[in-house]
Amino acid sequence: FPVSVVLPAGGTGERMGLQTPKQFCSFLGRPLISYTIQAFESVSWIQSIVVAVAKENMDLMMDITQRFKHRKVLVVPGGSTRHRSICNGVLALGEERSAAGKPKVVIIHDAVRPFVEEDFLCKIAMAAKEQGAAGAIRPLVSTVIATTSEGYLDHSLERAKYRASEMPQGFTYDVISQAYQRCSESDFEFGTECLHLALQYCGTNAKLIEGPPTLWKVSSPGACFGLGITLSRSAC
Ligand code: C5P
């Protein structure tokens, strides 16, 4: 069955304090996002990869696509929030109909999680096709606590009961496109969990699958150094 991918890569790097957004930072002479794209491009059953990037980075992304010979990539403008970027990508898949055909399943993955592997993508795609939605989870490595506005402990959560929601997530095209059509402005602004949008607006409860630690997201320079990865502060 046809599977396409949406990579939200519209972040501008403000939180990490980088001049270049982390997805475009160089790792061993190649931009991080190029590794993520490669992880999908090497999978024969994936038909297309839509990358949503901020308008100011579209030329850079086109250049990366050409330089690293990414053949399955379509670059679209990102949005002001992660959800808007994903939504733009999903809409583009609908419009792409004549070229590659509307996919049965859409996999959503962060551009900054370069180590995703085919066998796990296969689990997500199969579960999404059967259940309508599927998502990767990981056990929590830290206990989550709520704090008071004065900076004291309010309450703590029982760690064993909770999981971290990771990427990739998969949806049938119909579920993800309808969820975005029906959701509210505040869902777009506050970044409501995609799996939650599917449940709330389509009545589709996602199958949750525990993923490997390699689903790890590059979220801060510290996290990169922990794995021995040094991101250069400039695009390569
Ligand atoms: O900031 P965070 O690490 O949560 O971002 C996760 C992913 O969402 C990144 O790949 C980032 O580029 C993307 N994003 C986006 N559009 C935005 C903000 C973030 O596609 N407006």
Quote the ligand 1 centre to 79 CA distance (angstroms). 10
Q: Is residue 29 part of a domain?
A: yes
Q: How many domains does the chain have?
A: 1
Sign of the alpha-carbon torsion through 115, 135, 92, 96: positive
Task: Give the pLDDT confidence score for residue 63 in this predicted structure.
Answer: 96
Q: Which of 75, 110, 188 to mutate to test the pocket of ligand 1 (most atoms within 8 A of CB)?
A: 110
Residues 69-108: pLDDT tens digits?
999 999 999 999 999 999 999 999 988 655 567 899 999 9
Is 231 domain-assigned?
no
pLDDT given for residue 190 in this prediction = 84
Domain that holds residue 99: 3-226
Structure tokens at 88: 């733009």
Q: What is the CA radius of gyration of the chain?
A: 18
Is 52 inside a domain boundary?
yes
Kindly state if the Cβ of 114 falls inside 6 Å of ligand 1. no
The CA distances from residue 42 to 89, 124, 129, 169, in Å, are 20, 17, 21, 19
Beta strands in 20-60 (DSSP E): 26-27, 30-31, 46-53
Would residue 235 count as lying in a domain?
no
pLDDT at 236 over 50: no
Q: Does residue 154 fall inside a structural domain?
A: yes
If you measure from the C-alpha of residue 31 to the centroid of ligand 1, how many angstroms do you get, rounded to a whole number? 16
pTM for the full model?
A: 0.91
Task: Give the residue, by CA position, lying nearest to ligand 1 atom 21.
Answer: 81
28: domain CATH number is 3.90.550.10
For the segment 21-58, what is each residue's pLDDT rounded down to a tens digit?
Answer: 889 988 888 999 999 999 999 999 999 999 999 999 99
